[in-house]
Chain A
Amino acid sequence: MKIYYSPSHEYIKVDGNIGYIGISDYAQHALGNVVYVDMPEVGDDIEAGEDFGAIESVKAASDLIAPVSGAVVEINEHLIDNPRLVNENAMENWIIKIEMTDPSQLEELLDEEAYKELCEKEKH
């Protein structure tokens, strides 16, 4: 699956029209121990650039911004009881699965390399 990133540190793994959205490893590291993931409901529409939920650690909280538009087809229910899975493996533990309505929006996102560069910059 091809992976794209947003400047606000969400990733989307793409499988045809389906996308798996989560937060990057860099983002989980910056947040620290995740204690809660606020997720939308299945069936909700999400819009590129708007928040679809939030993720909290003990001392920080961050909105989850949709990298592309679509409809939520599944949420990662494991995160309800065990939000720390995001810390354990952010790339495997996606947060929502969506059906994209406009896959062309992917072109606006960053690829692996461009994202790495961004993270390097933010570190300094």
Chain B
Amino acid sequence: MNRELYGKLIFELSKPGRRGFHIADNHLPQTNALPSELLRQEPLDLPEVDEPTVVRHYTNMSTNNFGVDTGFYPLGSCTMKYNPKINEEMAAHPAFTHLHPDTPASAVQGALKMYHDLQLALSEIGGMAEFTLNPYAGAHGELTGLMVIRAYHDSRNDSARVKVIVPDSAHGTNPASAAVAGLEIVEVKSRPDGTVDVDDLRPLLDETVAAVMMTNPNTLGIFEKNIPEIARLVHEAGALLYYDGANLNPMLGVARPGDMGFDVMHINLHKTFSTPHGGGGPGAGPVGVRAGLEQFLPSPKVVKNADGTYSLVCDDSSLGHVSAHLGNFGVEMRALAYILSLGKENLSKVGPLATLGANYIKESLKDLYLLPIEGVCKHEFVFDGLIDKSTGVTTLDIAKRLLDYGYHAPTIYFPLLFHESLMIEPTETESVDTLDDFIAVMRKIAEEAASDPEMVKTAPHNTPISRPDDTEAALHPVVKYE
């Protein structure tokens, strides 16, 4: 990463008369313009720049960014694993990138087979009967999954079920998705280790509950041991159990959500299945269901016919459409390339190796950082800041100081169960050497917090910019260049 700020905006490089792209004349007669009342009045002001200037501008801009390819990215709950390059090559395959989504099925059999193959692989890995790949992102998948649940209850004329129970440690997205799906949130208190208290859950389960949403392992990286009991209670109450796939990675090769008793789940392909996060998208949020719920999945679906061909169908009992077509197809191609590259031999190593890395870091730092939950974690764990609080150095300061050393910060101040949460997830693609270096730096920061707290509190010192003024940004929003 370039530690000098490249701060220019493309608009500031514009010179009248320059351009960076031109198309060949198609030698067709000029048509009459549209009636003037339908034309834009205000001239369009876009930058006028040549191609070299554009390429240099965005290349320089990129060097102020940190990515997985730049360095270690221990961002808890985000599963920042390596993004294999063959995936990119496949997603750019011209036999797929040229396909218009409204092309009749007979001309896109290869694309439909790609979708179907990935759907089958995810069903196998999730222990589910069927997957839709249509949702565009994890949150979109979560919303779709809740719609599946509502469609199921509606089909049984059981529409008084309007509540979704989530643990108080859940991601903010869970309640937001429930609200968008027209459901009310009820929080169930978690025990100190973030797991659901079955005794607290039991009385909440009545005929108004549509679903219980959980992630397993939970946001503290702890496996919910009581999941069979929870599943039994939820099903007895006539509700469904939803699996938030945000934390699926440590379960690869170990246990399947379907076998744990979950009815509906989503997967973030950009986490567990190695597709790049792209600075915040595009992702993909496939949704899987157990047998008996397939008919509620969104339209369209890709089905394999008896003669081996593939078709698109829209089911009458489907919840409807959540996307224009078959989701972020290019992202799906990357995920299938990843599954094929690992194969059955290696997919099952992913979970244990991710878990090993997390425990290794935890054990190597717990003498300096406060570990609120003792014991084995899964893919991630949470420190509650430094053990020595006397220095006044906070989690935010530690996070910022890590940037100086060329690491991305862990997830901070989440989960909300602790005041100084510092959530670390290394993933299975980081070597022990990388982890050792990171551990050494974390130890050094703890030392610095004691010896020179002021320096840590004013970090970062070695990044393209220093701490920005968030208050000013929110107080007087400037959201475009003028």
Contacts and interface: CB of A to CB of B under 8 A. Distances in A.
A84 interface: yes
B343 to A, nearest CB: 44
A84 B474 contact: no
Interface in A28-65: 33, 35-36, 56, 58-59
A83 B470 CA distance: 15
Nearest to A83: B475
Contacts of A83: 475
Contacts, number: 14
A121 B475 CA distance: 32
Contacts of A36: 474-475
Contacts of B471: 33, 35, 58
Nearest to B476: A35
Interface in B425-482: 470-471, 474-475
A35 B475 CA distance: 5
Contacts of B475: 33, 35-36, 83-84
Interface in B240-278: none
Interface string A4-33: 000000000000000000000000000001
Interface string A65-89: 0000000000000000001100000
Contacts of A58: 470-471, 474
Contacts of B470: 58-59
A58 B470 CA distance: 7
A59 B475 CA distance: 12
Contacts of A35: 471, 474-475
Interface of B: 470-471, 474-475
Interface of A: 33, 35-36, 56, 58-59, 83-84
Given A35-B474, A36-B474, A36-B475, 11 more contacts: A33-B471, A33-B475, A35-B471, A35-B475, A56-B474, A58-B470, A58-B471, A58-B474, A59-B470, A83-B475, A84-B475
14 contacts: A33-B471, A33-B475, A35-B471, A35-B474, A35-B475, A36-B474, A36-B475, A56-B474, A58-B470, A58-B471, A58-B474, A59-B470, A83-B475, A84-B475
